[in-house]
């Protein structure tokens, strides 16, 4: 059984944490597995003849706070399920009435109004906030339901954390010869180092060196041998999907070849992470 939490008109289900979490920041987003789990509960509530719209609205309130600025969530899988559940809720609560004016103001004189009615209800309206940091107030008048989201983007070095995976990368040849190198063998050794017996579904992303592309036949061989579940290939990256990783190291290798000659090559990266909890991963050059 998964415990459910109900706070401030929001309802969701979560797994029992391995450790007691400290106070969460206001920008915290739930892990992918909890978004997917809660979305399935919402679908179940809306599937029967007697829909529990009261409880459903509390779930929608929580789900909407987990959406990223692009309308999705953490992964492809939880995004598909969550959007399906939100669409079912929208259909169950649809009304052809509604006229709302949302006003955003600040103490420094900023004033922006957004008007939402049936003629533009599907139109995304947005405006830039001039003062960051700053204090803004939001008010709404009229009748209806609107969704308001604020987005703050910034760059900081990622903090070091205890990774739940280890990954080692080797190339053959391991040193650059005098003549231009046309073909490389890329060997990746990945391993789960967490507290469970095995990981969830795992993903390995292998970025290509500038000017190099994957040899598709060598990647397909990994699928034929059932070493990986499936793969995706682009000119600049190979993505490998695995059902799970265990504590025994898994060895994978494929070939890359030079497509365009590029001088002063810089290291490319290989990343392994949990499909459902993308923050639990490790990056290597």
Q: Does the pLDDT at position 191 exceed 70?
A: yes
What token pair was written down for 224? 């034929």
On whether the CB atoms of residues 63 and 40 are closer than 8 A, the answer is no
pTM to 2 decimal places: 0.58
Find the range with the poorest average confidence among 98-107, 172-181, 193-202.
172-181
Residue 141: CB partners within 8 Å, gap ≥ 6?
100, 101, 103
On whether the CB atoms of residues 32 and 277 are closer than 8 A, the answer is yes
Rounded to an integer, the average pLDDT of 123-148 is 92
User: Other C-beta atoms within 10 Å of 140: how many?
Assistant: 15
pLDDT at 127: 94
CATH of domain 99-143: 2.20.210
Q: Does the pLDDT at position 50 exceed 50?
A: yes
Q: Does the pLDDT at position 22 exceed 70?
A: no
Closest to 78 measured CA to CA, from 93, 89, 63: 63
3-state SS class at 49: coil
pLDDT per residue as tens digits for the range 226-237: 889 999 999 899
Q: Does the pLDDT at position 242 exceed 70?
A: yes
Closest to 201 measured CA to CA, from 226, 223, 228: 228
pLDDT at 160: 58
pLDDT at 1: 47
Residue 247 CA to residue 256 CA, distance in Å, equals: 28
Structural domain spans, the chain: 4-92, 99-143, 165-284
pLDDT at 114: 97
Rounded to an integer, the average pLDDT of 32-48 is 92
User: Other C-beta atoms within 10 Å of 42: how many?
Assistant: 27
Half-sphere exposure of 208 (CA within 13 A, CB side): 23
Rounded to an integer, the average pLDDT of 48-58 is 89
What token pair was written down for 192? 């789960």
CATH class entry, domain 165-284: mainly beta
3-state SS class at 258: strand
Average model confidence (pLDDT) across the chain: 86
Distance of CA 89 to the CA centre of its chain: 23
């Amino acid at each position: 059984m998964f415990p459910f939490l109900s706070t401030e008109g929001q309802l969701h289900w979560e797994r029992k944490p391995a450790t007691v979490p400290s106070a969460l920041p206001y920008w915290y987003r739930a892990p992918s597995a909890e978004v997917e789990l809660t979305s399935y509960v919402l679908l179940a509530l809306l599937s029967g003849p007697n829909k529990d719209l009261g409880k459903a609205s509390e779930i929608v309130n929580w789900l909407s706070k987990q959406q990223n600025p692009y309308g999705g969530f953490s992964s492809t899988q939880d995004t598909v399920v969550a959007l399906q559940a939100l669409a079912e809720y929208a259909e169950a609560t649809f009304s052809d009435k509604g006229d709302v004016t949302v006003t955003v103001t600040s103490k420094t004189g900023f004033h922006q109004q957004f008007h939402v009615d049936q003629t533009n209800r599907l139109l995304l309206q947005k405006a830039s906030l001039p003062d960051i940091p700053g204090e803004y107030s939001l008010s709404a008048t009229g009748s209806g339901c609107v969704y308001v989201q604020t987005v703050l983007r910034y760059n900081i070095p990622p903090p070091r954390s205890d990774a739940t995976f280890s990954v080692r990368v080797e190339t053959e040849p391991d040193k650059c010869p005098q003549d231009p190198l046309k073909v490389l063998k890329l060997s990746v050794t990945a391993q789960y180092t967490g507290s469970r017996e095995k990981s969830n579904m795992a993903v390995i992303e292998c970025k290509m060196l500038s000017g190099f592309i994957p040899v598709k036949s060598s990647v397909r061989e990994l699928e034929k041998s059932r070493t990986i579940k499936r793969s995706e290939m682009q000119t600049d990256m190979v993505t490998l999907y695995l059902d799970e990783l265990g504590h025994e190291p898994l060895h994978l290798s494929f070939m890359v070849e030079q497509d365009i000659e590029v001088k002063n090559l810089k290291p490319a990266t290989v990343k392994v992470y949990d499909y459902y909890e993308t923050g639990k991963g490790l990056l290597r050059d």
